[in-house]
Amino acid sequence: MRYLITGGAGFVGSHLAEKLLERGDSVVLLDNLSTGSMENIRHLKSFERLQYHLDSIENKQVLAELVDDADIVVHLAAAVGVRLIVESPVRTIETNVNGTQLILEAAHKKRKLVLTASTSEVYGKNTQVPFHEDADLVLGPTTKGRWSYAASKALDEFLALAYWKEKKLPVIVVRLFNTVGPRQTGRYGMVLPSFVNQALEHQPITVYGSGKQSRCFCDVRDTVGGLIRLMDCERAIGEVVNIGNTEEITIEGLAQVVKERTQSRSEIVYVPYEQAYEPGFEDMQRRVPCVDKLHALTGFRPQTPLSEIVDRVSAYFREKRAAAAAPRTVASSAD
């Protein structure tokens, strides 16, 4: 099979590309490197079945050609991270909504299967955990920019499902719950890589808010496994499916786990939301997925334990530090 992955140089995209290439598929990556990185895919360049294009999905000619050549389109390109969302709400909305519309329009012309990534953020302030795919989406007011990401991704879902119902374009919508692992950056507010970096440097581990808010963290290997199984499942077409781990932990609990597993001397400090982001910032207290639908469709449930996830992320950043500190060998030539 030939896969086109938008946002393919990003965290999840690069891991998905790696797995598909390992199993013998052909992969084409499209990324403008706004949040992705060439470092994420450098190790994949040895695969002859890999192609990558450093361009935007807004380049309609390039997009049309790549969609035409693909069997399946995986749409991961999006504005991501709480910090980016708060600081650049216009970019968030335009990137997410316009990008998805362009992908669906191009795929519809050739009737290509589209898997589009949504987020657990769409559940908003809903307190009925675990979250089921047919649960109400309870978002905050439009005056709070924090909800612009959730609203834009919810609109993406509506649009994808409308293409399926009205135009019979095969689509699958996945709601990802806090995917984490090696190659994820803390640059845009991702909590686990931020905590691990702070712990390894023995700097204060900064917990935003009370720290009582809880999340479930899913190893990127499990997320990728779920994505691939869903794309291989014809019954998943036209469905919205959660992908996430169900092991719940508070953010202050996560900070403690990171401190212990990295054997760090860091202290854990608390930073008010209004200082970390903006006045009046709102957050979700709990975010726990129900993955029964994923299991019913594919027989798969993410279950990598948090301790193993933290160890993998820690090992990744330790290796990066060691590589950066290693002396570089400079070749010299005789006169």
- Please confirm, yes or no, whether 149 is among the known catalytic residues: yes
SS (H, E, C) the chain: CEEEEECCCCHHHHHHHHHHHHCCCEEEEEECCCCCCHHHCHHHCCCCCEEEEECCCCCHHHHHHHHHHCCEEEECCCCCCHHHHHHCHHHHHHHHHHHHHHHHHHHHHHCCEEEEEEEHHHHECCCCCCECCCCCCECCCCCCHHHHHHHHHHHHHHHHHHHHHHHCCCEEEEEECCEECCCCCCCCCCHHHHHHHHHHCCCCEEEECCCCCEEECEEHHHHHHHHHHHHCCHHHCCCEEEECCCCEEEHHHHHHHHHHHCCCCCCEEEECHHHHCCCCCCCCCEECECCHHHHHHHCCCCCCCHHHHHHHHHHHHHHHHHHHHCCCCCCCCCC
Catalytic residue among 149, 163, 208, 277: 149
Catalytic positions, written as ranges? 149
